Chains A and B, each alone.
Chain A
């Protein structure tokens, strides 16, 4: 007898939930017909989405093909090959540029280690994670697809569902070393704002002032 009571007790939960607010939202992947709702819930600030390869303001690519991102990648999803810059018509500042840059999104776990490893702030992660490719080659993003367009915005692939604002607030960038030889930057979180794309504000304990102030090599207030 007790068994049957337990049986209905289980259903009680179900019935109770029938009258509560829904947690899920209506989502049609950008293909909503007119009049139908097509809402996405706001994403957490720290969400890691698909990568963006940034450029400098003069259009030069930031990526120097150093392969540190590929080296640090725990999923082995990044393939980079460097090459010599043509001195007359360089792709990036300096000697070397990223000749091949591929990320396999069938493997990527969006851990953001590549972003931390990047010495030139070339790679950052956007908030976008809704992509539905139907074949393997679409899933492997090449450099041409990852690099930002002339407008400085990520390029939208046909199979990606971008909404307003999702290209904002990309991940930050932390120095593991003081690459310029300035020890004051060691361990300081540094936001790729001035040259990178889509930045969120520093959080508690992450000092933007320290990072941006001492350009003159002298005082730090």
Chain B
């Protein structure tokens, strides 16, 4: 019998009212055990799935419009359809390298309900005819690794994984791997490189999807933890039931990790498309508003890579389309709220520094540009800034992400939103992500930058000669 370490759950989940699709067991102290899982309907969906044909499961998921929860929001059912026929073996890779700043929903899913994730993997493997699944968990998530390992052992012992699952012809192996703490490995091709034992650097595109050429050169489906955690519910309750939640384009629920200056930060499962940012941040059932005595200054709507939103965008629904049109993205579902005590330049620096440290070093604009941005911001904060630094920052940003960068509308300045996504001179979006805090803050809070700039620009030599 496996022995469970009853390390108390890490904080983060707030037990609120509302539909629970993936967080249904989060309230239990022993939610991660096989006993609790089975007692609350765990692995029931697997049995249901095994009674159906793989094609039925696939069409159910496609029908449910289960959107990818990793950041790009690509429908899982359609992604699964990209597997080229006859190029066996296929692999399933679970992207558990959640390291987007402000995002911690996958960690909770892995820590609190690993069996739900494993069940989702198994159903996906069954639906697509895969026999090997790799669970890639972020290096720092020790508790998640431990609990998934325990859960895998339990599931193997119980016959849910391995040869002839539940007495059928269906066999799957699930392999747990963990990273070494590199943010870039959250990018799916870099994750595959890391899985193969190489340095985690994004691969060249094309091919654009690992579904064509992925792990070990084979067609590979890479899905996010939350996406797969939805699969058992969809299988068990069907697409029609799933679509009763959320909006038409974005059905179901979605987990949002709210952090920052709200009264009740935490992870919430909310209905997509119906709930607005205002509901989430101010609703009594959710974050209950900005901390007392302060007002919202800005918030990051979808993980550190997303351009920032402000008061005016609060009434946008939590849905990819409208948020993208408004100049940002829901991304990984991490919302960082900042109130009026926040220094915009410092906040931008904090995020830019993250990207500078985490750049994999492959593409020149990202490797050199992010660090340069960081150092200029630091210099401005150190009181060594020059007036030309602001334009220079925007120009460096333009060299990483050419053209207008997505940004929220600013009615006060009569400026329109520039829709997502940005263009990029790099292979992956890490470099352009570092631009988001800079363009967002300079556009809205240029006066804060200017207030910090104390030095003068050097007089251009040519101009000086012209004067004398």
Interface residues of A (CB under 8 A from B): 184, 186-188, 205, 207, 210, 214, 218-220
Asked if A188 and B384 make an inter-chain contact with CB atoms under 8 angstroms apart, the answer reads: no
Asked if B384 and A220 make an inter-chain contact with CB atoms under 8 angstroms apart, the answer reads: no
Q: How far is the CA of A86 from the CA of B153 in the complex (A)?
A: 62
Q: How far is the CA of A188 from the CA of B460 in the complex (A)?
A: 11
Give the distance to chain A from B383, nearest Cβ to Cβ, in Å: 10
B447 in the interface (beta carbon within 8 A): no
Q: Which residue of B lies closest to A214 (CB)?
A: B458
Q: Which residue of A lies closest to B459 (CB)?
A: A220
B169 in the interface (beta carbon within 8 A): no
Q: How far is the CA of A184 from the CA of B465 in the complex (A)?
A: 13
Q: Which residue of A lies closest to B465 (CB)?
A: A205
Asked if B456 and A219 make an inter-chain contact with CB atoms under 8 angstroms apart, the answer reads: yes
Residues of B within 8 A of A186 (CB): 461
Write the B451-468 contact mask toward A (1 if CB under 8 angstroms, else 0): 000011011111011000
Residues of B within 8 A of A220 (CB): 456, 458-459
Residues of B within 8 A of A205 (CB): 465
Give the distance to chain A from B308, nearest Cβ to Cβ, in Å: 31
Q: How far is the CA of A127 from the CA of B328 in the complex (A)?
A: 69
A-B contact list, 20 entries, CB within 8 Å = A184-B458, A184-B460, A184-B461, A186-B461, A187-B461, A187-B462, A188-B461, A205-B465, A207-B464, A210-B461, A210-B464, A214-B458, A218-B384, A218-B455, A219-B455, A219-B456, A219-B458, A220-B456, A220-B458, A220-B459
Size of the chain B interface, CB-CB below 8 angstroms:
10
Residues of A within 8 A of B384 (CB): 218
Q: Which of B349-386 contact A (CB under 8 A)?
A: 384
Q: How far is the CA of A32 from the CA of B185 in the complex (A)?
A: 85
Give the distance to chain A from B465, nearest Cβ to Cβ, in Å: 8
Residues of A within 8 A of B456 (CB): 219-220
Q: How far is the CA of A184 from the CA of B460 in the complex (A)?
A: 6
Residues of B within 8 A of A184 (CB): 458, 460-461
Give the distance to chain A from B457, nearest Cβ to Cβ, in Å: 8
Q: How far is the CA of A220 from the CA of B455 in the complex (A)?
A: 9
Q: How far is the CA of A184 from the CA of B456 in the complex (A)?
A: 13
Q: Which residue of B lies closest to A207 (CB)?
A: B464
Q: How far is the CA of A214 from the CA of B457 in the complex (A)?
A: 11
Q: How far is the CA of A218 from the CA of B389 in the complex (A)?
A: 12
Residues of A within 8 A of B462 (CB): 187
Q: How far is the CA of A210 from the CA of B456 in the complex (A)?
A: 15
The 6 closest A-B pairs by CB, nearest first: A220-B458, A184-B458, A218-B455, A187-B461, A219-B456, A220-B459
Residues of B within 8 A of A214 (CB): 458
Residues of B within 8 A of A210 (CB): 461, 464
Residues of A within 8 A of B461 (CB): 184, 186-188, 210
Give the distance to chain B from A204, nearest Cβ to Cβ, in Å: 10
Q: Which of B382-436 contact A (CB under 8 A)?
A: 384
Residues of A within 8 A of B460 (CB): 184
Highest count of chain A CB atoms <10 Å: which of B458, B462, B464: B458
Residues of B within 8 A of A187 (CB): 461-462
Give the distance to chain B from A191, nearest Cβ to Cβ, in Å: 16
Q: How far is the CA of A210 from the CA of B467 in the complex (A)?
A: 14
Q: How far is the CA of A214 from the CA of B461 in the complex (A)?
A: 13
Q: Which residue of A lies closest to B464 (CB)?
A: A210
